[in-house]
C-alpha cells in the first residue's frame, strides 16, 4: 500500500494521490501526477477499464517521448509510480483523492459516501466534475473543509488549464495545497466560484448547444457549422466535432446542470442533442455522433 507523504512539519504536503475512475480523464490525471513525481493509486469499478489503464498511460507517454517532451527515464519512472487496485477503500490513507467518474451526481456522491469511512484524517478530497456543485458534493462527506473541485481539461496531458473551485466550506490550507499540486504539474490554475459549470463550461457548452440548435433548425449542415467556427472564428476544432470529442452525454449532462441551476431558458438543451444521446450516438467513444467514425475518415451524420 502507498504510504502518506504527510509529516508533522508540513501537514498539507501532498505525496500520494488516489484517482477514482480509469476512463479518459482518470487515466490522464494519473499520467500527469506520476510524471510530476506523485505516487498514484488508480481504481475503477469496471475491471476492464482498470486492466487497460496502465497500457493507455504507457501509450500516451510514448507519444510524449516521440515528441521529445519527456525522456525514456521519465517515462519509466512515471509508470513505476502508478499502481491499480479494484478496492476503493485502499485509497483511504492517501494524501489526496481525486474523483474522476462519470458526470452524474448520484455516482459521484455514492463514491464519496463509500470512501469516507476509510479516509485518514488529513486526506483531501477533490472532484474533477465539470459542472456539479462542489458545496453539495462536499456535504455528502465528513470533511467539507477539505473538499474542493480540481477540474482538469481534456486531454489532461496536453491541456494547460486546471480550474480550482472552492465549496462554501473549503478552507485556505486545502485550497493552497491543491494550488501547489497544479503548479508542480506545470499547469496553470484558474480560480472559479461554485456556480453551475464554473467558467470553462459555463461559456463553452452554451456555444456547443447553440451549434446543435443551428443544425436542428437547418441553419447549416454539420460541415458548414464546423467550417464557419474553424475558419471564421479561428477555433482549432468546430463545435460539433468538439462535442463528439467531449462526449454528447457529457455535453447534455452539463447543459442540464446549467438549465436546472439557473432556471433560464437560454440554457435549455437542444432536443437534437438529447435525441443523439437517446440513440447512443455519443461521439468518438461510440464511433457515432455528429460524425460517423466507423470508416477511414469521419463522415457527417446529417
CATH code at position 147: 3.40.50.720
Cα 281 to the center of its chain, rounded Å: 20
- Name beta bridge partners: 85: 43
Residue 77 assigned as binding residue: no
d(CA 227, CA 213): 16
Last residue of a domain, one of 193, 210, 240: 193
- Answer yes or no: do 189 and 260 share one domain: no
- Answer yes or no: do 183 and 265 share one domain: no
d(CA 6, CA 25): 26
Catalytic residue check, 176? no
Residue 130 assigned as binding residue: yes
- Tracing cell 479561428 back to the chain, one arrives at 234
Catalytic residue check, 163? yes
Would the pLDDT of 7 be above 60? no
- Catalytic choice (31, 201, 209, 241): 201
- Answer yes or no: do 185 and 205 share one domain: no
Model-wide pTM > 0.85: yes
Domains in the chain: how many in total? 2
- In percent, how much of the chain has pLDDT > 70? 96
In the numeric block, which cell numbers belong to residue 179? 494550488
Q: Could you write out the three-class secondary structure of 47-94?
A: HHHHHHHHHHHHHHHHHHHHCCCCCHHHHHHHHHCEEEECCHHHHCCC
d(CA 154, CA 156): 5
Residue 103 assigned as binding residue: yes
- Answer yes or no: do 141 and 210 share one domain: no
Average pLDDT, the chain: 95
- Answer yes or no: do 284 and 148 share one domain: no
- Answer yes or no: do 78 and 165 share one domain: yes
Q: What is the CA radius of gyration of the chain?
A: 20
In the numeric block, which cell numbers belong to residue 130? 465539470
Residue 146 assigned as binding residue: no
Chain segment 172-204, per-residue pLDDT in tens: 999 999 999 999 999 999 999 999 999 999 999
Would the pLDDT of 18 be above 50? yes
2 is a domain residue = no
- Catalytic choice (130, 131, 133, 209): 130
CB 130 within 8 A of CB 196: no
178, 183, 65, 59: CA torsion to nearest 10: 20
User: What pLDDT does residue 13 have?
Assistant: 86
d(CA 180, CA 186): 10
d(CA 234, CA 227): 10
95 is a domain residue = yes
Catalytic residue check, 224? no
Q: In terms of residue numbers, what domain contains 293?
A: 201-300
- Answer yes or no: do 54 and 179 share one domain: yes
Chain segment 227-257, per-residue pLDDT in tens: 999 999 999 999 999 999 999 999 999 999 9
- Answer yes or no: do 160 and 230 share one domain: no
- Catalytic choice (31, 60, 131, 163): 163
| Phi–psi pair at 94, nearest 5 degrees | -75, 165
3 is a domain residue = no
Catalytic residue check, 133? no
- Tracing cell 461554485 back to the chain, one arrives at 194
d(CA 4, CA 248): 38
Residue 75 assigned as binding residue: no
Amino acid at each position: 500500500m502507498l504510504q502518506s507523504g504527510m509529516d508533522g512539519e508540513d501537514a498539507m504536503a501532498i505525496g500520494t494521490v488516489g484517482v477514482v475512475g480509469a476512463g479518459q480523464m482518470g487515466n490522464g490525471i494519473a499520467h500527469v501526477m506520476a510524471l510530476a513525481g506523485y505516487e498514484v493509486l488508480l481504481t475503477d469499478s469496471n475491471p476492464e477499464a482498470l486492466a487497460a489503464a496502465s497500457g493507455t498511460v504507457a501509450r500516451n507517454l510514448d507519444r510524449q517521448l516521440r515528441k521529445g517532451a519527456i525522456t525514456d527515464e521519465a517515462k519509466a519512472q512515471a509508470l513505476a509510480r502508478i499502481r491499480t487496485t479494484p478496492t476503493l477503500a485502499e485509497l483511504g490513507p492517501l494524501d489526496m483523492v481525486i474523483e474522476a467518474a462519470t458526470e452524474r451526481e448520484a455516482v459521484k456522491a455514492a463514491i464519496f459516501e463509500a470512501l469516507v469511512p476509510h479516509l485518514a484524517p488529513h486526506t483531501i478530497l477533490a472532484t474533477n466534475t465539470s459542472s456539479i456543485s462542489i458545496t453539495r458534493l462536499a456535504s455528502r462527506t465528513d470533511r467539507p473543509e477539505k473538499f474542493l473541485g480540481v477540474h482538469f481539461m481534456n486531454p489532461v496531458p496536453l491541456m494547460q488549464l486546471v480550474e480550482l473551485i472552492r465549496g462554501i466550506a473549503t478552507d485556505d490550507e486545502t485550497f493552497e495545497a491543491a494550488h501547489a499540486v497544479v503548479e508542480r504539474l506545470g499547469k496553470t490554475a484558474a480560480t472559479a466560484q461554485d456556480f453551475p459549470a464554473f467558467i470553462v463550461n459555463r461559456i463553452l457548452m452554451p456555444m456547443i448547444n447553440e451549434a446543435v440548435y443551428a443544425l436542428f433548425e437547418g441553419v447549416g449542415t454539420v460541415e458548414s457549422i464546423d467550417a464557419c467556427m474553424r475558419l471564421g472564428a479561428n477555433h482549432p476544432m468546430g463545435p460539433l466535432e468538439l462535442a463528439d470529442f467531449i462526449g454528447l452525454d457529457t455535453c447534455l449532462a452539463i447543459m442540464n446542470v446549467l438549465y436546472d441551476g439557473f432556471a433560464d431558458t437560454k440554457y435549455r438543451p437542444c432536443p437534437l442533442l438529447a435525441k443523439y444521446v437517446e440513440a447512443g450516438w455519443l461521439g468518438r467513444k461510440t464511433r457515432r455522433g455528429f460524425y460517423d467514425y466507423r470508416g477511414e475518415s469521419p463522415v457527417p451524420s446529417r
